[in-house]
Amino acid sequence: MSDAAPLSASAPAQAPLTIRMHVRDNVAIVANDGGLPPGSILPSGLVLRDRVPQGHKVALVDLAAQAPVLRYGIPIGYALQEIPAGSWVHERLLQMPDARGLDNLPIATVKPEPLPPLEGYSFEGFRNADGSVGTRNILAITQTVQCVAGVTDFAVQRIKAELLPKFPNVDDVVALEHGYGCGVAIDAPDAIIPIRTLRNISLNPNFGGEVMVVSLGCEKLQPERLLPPGSIPLIDERNVADVGNTAEAKLDVVCLQDDAHVGFMSMVESIMRQAEEHLERLNARQRETVPASELVVGVQCGGSDAFSGVTANPAVGFCTDLLVRAGASVMFSETTEVRDGIDQLTSRASTPEVAAAMIKEMAWYDAYLQRGQVDRSANTTPGNKKGGLSNIVEKAMGSIVKSGSVPITGVLAPGEKLKQKGLTYAATPASDFICGTLQLAAGMNLHVFTTGRGTPYGLAQVPVIKVATRSDLARRWHDLMDVNAGTIADGSCSIEDVGWELFQLMLDVASGRKKTWAEHWKLHNALVLFNPAPVT
């Protein structure tokens, strides 16, 4: 983390304030709300030649044409022309470096000093039959196909109004709606990704193993293909399959095309009848004290700006180290946003096997993008650029710090279920909804999301703690942002302060003692499946 700590952020808030990330850097970003006008004198005596917006870069020295522009100690681009000291270094002045090749990478070369274990932290969670722990108690209704979404939603509204009040220990009823299931090339090799994603989401620890499925009947993704025998954990004798095989859990399916249904209400009542059985069992779940090691945290960012890598993401990275020290599981993701730091990741891999798995995921993604005739530079958005991020290299350097400093001990392909503690690279696209959906499938029970431009992102399935990168955003979105990491930029808090605040908040939110703002307002984004396979 030492490389990511701001080196100079101690001036009073009103005075011109810039933040440089590394001793080698020849640019710094302007921290002041509203930016700085030309003629502003920096503490070093440098006079600004241009107006520089907040989060944007100023040249600290004269840069010759073709000179590397260094932020985070690495070239984020090369000057397309001479840039005098004090100038605004905007994206149009930079040529982006090529992506680092995947050959000859440093493999498991960094061996960080083991951090002392963090003991004595716990939360109140719902222990499941398979040993996992939920942070919420939710009935999730799995769907095999989009065709049934309207009927399921109608039933869910009635379940919430008529049944849920009878089961006070159950937090919510959620339909797992998605666009997959029919009109897809279901035998294409890559179809395994959306299928296992749906399967593993159904098994998320927040749903207590109470899997129920609504199917149309004629769809390509048949219930038995989605949840084959053995995929649903046995809870107890109540969900044993009635087929003479006592080791197998019953797959509970309501099929709308079943001959037994006459009229729409028959379907709705069938869903409600099945839901009530699951609600009764879920209602019997009680929170119990469990160690912090039962947290499974997915971290991601969205609507990033130049502060993301200065404030919120380093604080999340510090918290990642705390969680791993406490024995918990942390996943970081977003392939295009870490691709440019692949050498940092492979060198931090705990073993050559972990590094090789990471390289395999990156190579797969490079090929996937190439098939669509783009590369990782398609990632940055107009908002990223307005927030001061010139290109994906600069964005990636800020994104990667969410992973903290501990060794990377695991790698997951998209849609796979996490089975180990420690820090895992869960390969996903950077798209907020797709990344969140895949981290849900991996089994996260808590989500941390950093944002600089601002997004009201939330999920119905798991609490989402949102961290603002700037105090200005935290002030304006005071009832949407859960943590303000902007205090790091104005010098009133340290990265460690905010990291600990986040850690404590995680335990409170996981325990249900506190709700996130997204939960308070019920802000729920759609599940979006990653389907790299063809549709028909």
Q: Residues in the site for Ca ion, rule: CB under 5 A?
A: 300, 302, 430, 432, 435
N-term to C-term CA, the chain: 48
How far apart (Å, rounded) are the C-alpha atoms in residues 175 and 485? 34
Closer to Ca ion by CB, 456 or 491: give it: 456
Q: State the number of CA atoms in the 13 A half-sphere of 437 facing the CB.
A: 25
- Token representation of residue 152: 């399921």
Closer to Ca ion by CB, 89 or 299: give it: 299
Q: Output the smallest distance, CB 393 to Ca ion, in A.
A: 17
Closer to Ca ion by CB, 305 or 432: give it: 432
H or E stretch at 279: helix 264-283
Q: What is the dihedral of CA 83, 89, 95, 99, to 10 degrees?
A: 130
How far apart (Å, rounded) are the C-alpha atoms in residues 133 and 445? 8
Residue pair 9/489 in contact by the 8 Å Cβ criterion: yes
Longest dimension (CA), the chain: 83
How far apart (Å, rounded) are the C-alpha atoms in residues 536 and 534? 7
Closer to Ca ion by CB, 455 or 484: give it: 455
Q: Output the smallest distance, CB 178 to Ca ion, in A.
A: 19
Q: Output the smallest distance, CB 464 to Ca ion, in A.
A: 12
Closer to Ca ion by CB, 40 or 379: give it: 379
CA 331 from centre of chain: 8
CA angle 12–16–22, rounded 5-degree value: 90
Place of tokens 């509970």: 252
How far apart (Å, rounded) are the C-alpha atoms in residues 129 and 126? 10
Closer to Ca ion by CB, 300 or 409: give it: 300
Closer to Ca ion by CB, 208 or 314: give it: 314
CA 506 from centre of chain: 15
Closer to Ca ion by CB, 416 or 432: give it: 432
User: Cβ atoms within 10 A of the Cβ of 352, count?
Assistant: 11
Q: Output the smallest distance, CB 225 to Ca ion, in A.
A: 30
Q: Output the smallest distance, CB 69 to Ca ion, in A.
A: 25
Question: Which residues, 6 or more positions from 226, have their beta carbon under 8 angstroms from its beta carbon?
Answer: 142, 144, 195, 198, 199, 202, 213
CA angle 424–428–429, rounded 5-degree value: 145
Closer to Ca ion by CB, 232 or 396: give it: 396
Residue pair 51/38 in contact by the 8 Å Cβ criterion: yes
Closer to Ca ion by CB, 294 or 432: give it: 432
Residue pair 444/467 in contact by the 8 Å Cβ criterion: no
- Token representation of residue 315: 């604080």
CA angle 2–431–478, rounded 5-degree value: 70
Using DSSP's 3-state secondary structure scheme, residue 520 falls into helix
Q: Output the smallest distance, CB 75 to Ca ion, in A.
A: 24
Closer to Ca ion by CB, 298 or 314: give it: 298
Q: Output the smallest distance, CB 426 to Ca ion, in A.
A: 12
Q: Output the smallest distance, CB 466 to Ca ion, in A.
A: 12
